[in-house]
Amino acid sequence: MRRSRLLFVLVIATCSPRTTPAADRPDPAKLAAIIDARLADGWDKAKVRPAPVVDDATFLRRASLDLIGRIPTVAESREFLADKAPDKRAKLVNRLIDSGGHARHMATYWRRTWVPQADAEFARVADDFEAWVSVRVQENAPYDRMVRELLTAPIRAAGTLPTAQTGVTPAPFFTANENKPENLAASATRAFLGVNLDCAQCHDHPFARWTRDQFWQTAAFFAAPKMGDGGKTMPPELTIPNTKKSFAPELMDGTPVKWPAALASDTGRKLLADWVVGKDNPYFARNAVNRTWAQVFGTALVEPLDDLSGETGNAGYHAELLKELAEAFVASGYDLKYMTRALVLTKAYQLSAVVREGTPPDPRLFARMPVRGLTGEQLYDSLRTAAGLPLERDDTGRGQGLDAHKRFAAQFHVERAVTAERAIVQTLTAMNGRFTTDLTDPAKNQTLAGAADAPFLDTKGKVETLFLAVLGRKPTEKEAAPLVKHVADGGTENDPRLALADVFWALINTTEFNTNH
């Protein structure tokens, strides 16, 4: 109760690198400048003034959450804020993207994009799939190669791995889709093309571009070849369940399928993969860029994310920019890190979340950054970072720490952070749950213990340390004064250490900590 009162009183404004020669690598700063120019044209036409650029503390926190999935440590904050180099933001972006934390964070993002059902009924496959994505992101594998490897992964009829399979594998994609051709077709087109094909699974929709026939023709690529006369393998045919109607594989754009003379069990998937990742595919690169933009800016260039075919009549404010970025992505060799660098280096990414006086701009103009709720993974890792504890995200083990991380993340699961609203139960869990309670114990919180016992810090310095640990910034004089007094007086328990724990608890329950802004 004493902490609830304090919170009420406390008001706070709210592995292997690519070997492309340096001279041949595309410059992300140049692409960032092109993006800014295109967005600025939109602001001029809409007569909108963009929000001001954020300060260093806000940029560090935003970039850290977006690129490595956690807030910065006290040491990282102090070092960055003290750095006077004019290019320190660009250096920070490069360091974060090249880190193992970026690979792990993006592995979670792409797993959620590609295998969203693993958050619920197929949770057991999430770890293995994320391990595979993490390795590929760390080595900066081309995006098209990743998708091709996924679609053509060796599997058995039941969706299990071959006995000789070793190492990380994308086969859980098939497990999560129950190895059913219809499930795989729906997931693959949505995840890799931004096309909502599954709405045509049962019947032709009067307003949809895709037909029922096209759905089952696509699904047929995931079926096994059929046996013809004399034991010769033939292209597969897929029968709609509970009907006698069958379909042979056909590509969605009508391109003829060239079947080889000899067919293997994965021939259909390989032919589909060739078309999906092909440079002439109108959706593949655009979908990857659109989803990367959404991850960085909260809102995609074209919404909804699975409607790049324009079935809802929404071509997006920035269809031409998306096309331009997709072409740059293809020219880069499908380099995800290059695209991410370009987006984060834009001036648009550095804009404040503040709404200027007057009519708030349309979020699709990207004239300000949205305030985004933290995902469960970001919140868990940020709480441990604030407490000075290791992240317990050992991707090679199945220890108690990883299990605790998964349980906590599941409690705070959100579909899309930009629209996340915390439920009452989640709020109460954040305020009074066991994990939060443990973090207010100096014996279990290295930040608290270090600040409380530091002989070189006065009370104001201790409060400032907690602000840097939790919010990544120093407090204003108005914020610091009542908190310094609360700690100096010993709080309600007449114990300065417990009073300092009160401050930590209050800070981690603020909107400022629980959002990316």
Q: What angle do CA 367, 371, 374 make, to 5 degrees?
A: 140
In contact, 328 and 334? CB cutoff 8 Å: no
pLDDT in tens, 212-227: 888 899 999 999 998 8
The whole-angstrom separation of Cα 115 and Cα 130 is 10
Cα torsion at 346, 347, 352, 355 (round to 10°)? -110
- The whole-number pLDDT of residue 438 equals 83
SS3 53: strand
Q: In 332-458, where does DSSP find H-type helix?
A: 336-344, 376-386, 400-411, 424-432, 434-439, 446-453
In a domain, 357, yes or no: no
Query: How are beta strands 515-516 and 372-373 bridged, if at all?
Result: antiparallel
Instruction: Give the percent of the chain with pLDDT over 90.
Output: 61
| Residue 465 placed within a domain | yes
444 belongs to a structural domain:
yes
Look at 391 and 147; give whichever has higher pLDDT. 147
The rounded Cα 384 to chain-centroid distance in angstroms is: 19
Among 39-48, 112-121, 131-140, 283-292, name the one with the lowest average pLDDT.
112-121
Q: Is the pLDDT of residue 124 over 80?
A: no
> What pLDDT digit, counting tens, does each position of 269-326 carry?
999 999 999 999 999 999 999 999 999 999 999 988 888 876 544 555 788 999 999 9
Q: Does residue 31 have a pLDDT over 80?
A: yes
Q: What is the pLDDT of residue 501?
A: 94
CB 132 within 8 A of CB 167: no
Residue 161 lies in a domain: no
Give, as one character, the DSSP assignment of residue 359: S
Q: How far apart are CA 463 and CA 376, in angstroms?
A: 27
Q: What is the pLDDT of residue 261?
A: 87
The pLDDT score that the predictor gives to residue 62 is 98
pLDDT tens for residues 420-467? Answer: 555 444 555 556 667 777 888 888 999 999 999 999 999 999 999 999
One-letter amino acid for residue 271 of the chain: L
Is residue 489 one of the residues assigned to a domain?
yes
Contact 387, 446 (CB under 8 A): yes
The pLDDT assigned to 394 comes to: 45
Handedness of CA 414, 419, 424, 430 (dihedral sign): positive
Q: 414: pLDDT confidence band, cut at 50, 70 and 90?
A: low
Residue 452 CA, chain-centre distance (Å), reads 36
pLDDT of residue 127: 85
Return the pLDDT at 392. 60
Confidence tier at 242 by pLDDT (50, 70, 90): confident
Domain that holds residue 499: 373-516
Q: What is the Cα–Cα distance from 378 to 71, expressed in whole angstroms? A: 8
Task: Judge whether 479 lies within some domain.
Answer: yes
For residues 286 and 322, the answer to whether their CB atoms sit within 8 Å is yes
What's the structural domain count of the chain?
Answer: 1
SS3 of 246-284: the string is EECCCCCCCCCCCCCCCCCCCHHHHHHHHHHCCCCCCCH
CB burial string 1-20: b at 16+ within 10 A, e below: eebeebbeebebeeeeeeee
Task: Locate 200 and state its tokens.
Answer: 């045509």
Q: What is the DSSP letter of 195?
A: B
* More confident site: 154 or 344: 344
Q: How confident is the model at residue 4 (pLDDT cuts 50, 70, 90)?
A: very low
How much is the mean pLDDT over the chain? 85
User: How far is Cα 178 from Cα 174, in angstroms, rounded to an integer?
Assistant: 6
Q: Is residue 215 part of a domain?
A: no
Look at residues 288, 210, 292 and name the one whose alpha carbon lies nearest to residue 251: 210
Task: Give the bridge partners for 238, in sequence order.
Answer: 247
Top pLDDT among 30 and 23 is at 30
Residue 401's pLDDT is what? 54
Q: Out of 171-175, 375-379, 430-434, which region has the weakest mean confidence (pLDDT)?
A: 430-434
Answer yes or no: is 120 within a domain.
Answer: no
Residue 161 has pLDDT above 60, yes or no: no
Segment among 235-239, 279-283, 391-395, 480-484 with least mean pLDDT: 391-395
**Cβ–Cβ under 8 Å, residues 352 and 368:** yes
Assign 406 to helix, strand or coil.
helix
pLDDT band at 9 (very low <50, low <70, confident <90, very high): very low
Say if residue 7's pLDDT is above 50.
no
